[in-house]
Amino acid sequence: MSKTDTSNSLEQQRAVSNRPASPEADQSAPKRVAPLTILLGVVFVVFCGILVFVYVATKRANPVMLDQQGKPLEQSSGPATSGAR
């Protein structure tokens, strides 16, 4: 057996050992996730939570428009009109 035969057989063994046994075996290995991706994901979830909280809070609120003396204005379907601009 010559030196080139030995090196060729070693290369073939390495190539075979690097291949997964089946396609499922390649997909089952856990992939590493970058810390920045995790951080951005957490920031996104917190931001969405804040948006939902503010939306629910504004739907519960029952604002009453007051005039300059602090008395409630009458409810109207259109925009509020006032004499002063």
Looking at residue 9, the DSSP 8-state letter turns out to be H
Domain carrying residue 52 = 34-60
Rg (CA), the chain: 34
pTM comes to 0.43
pLDDT band at 15 (very low <50, low <70, confident <90, very high): low
The two three-digit tokens of residue 11, written as one number? 């290369």
Q: What are the tens digits of pLDDT across the range 21-79?
A: 555 555 677 889 899 999 999 999 999 999 999 999 999 998 888 898 989 988 665 55
Q: Which residue in the block uniquely carries the two structure tokens 């109207």?
A: 76
Q: How many domains, the chain?
A: 1
Phi, psi of 66 (to 5 degrees): -110, 150
Is residue 50 a part of any domain in this protein? yes
Query: Between these two residues, 15 and 37, which has the higher pLDDT value?
Result: 37
pLDDT at site 46: 98
Strand partners, 72: 66
Asked whether residue 71 is assigned to any structural domain, the reply reads no
Whether 6 shows a pLDDT value over 70: the answer reads no
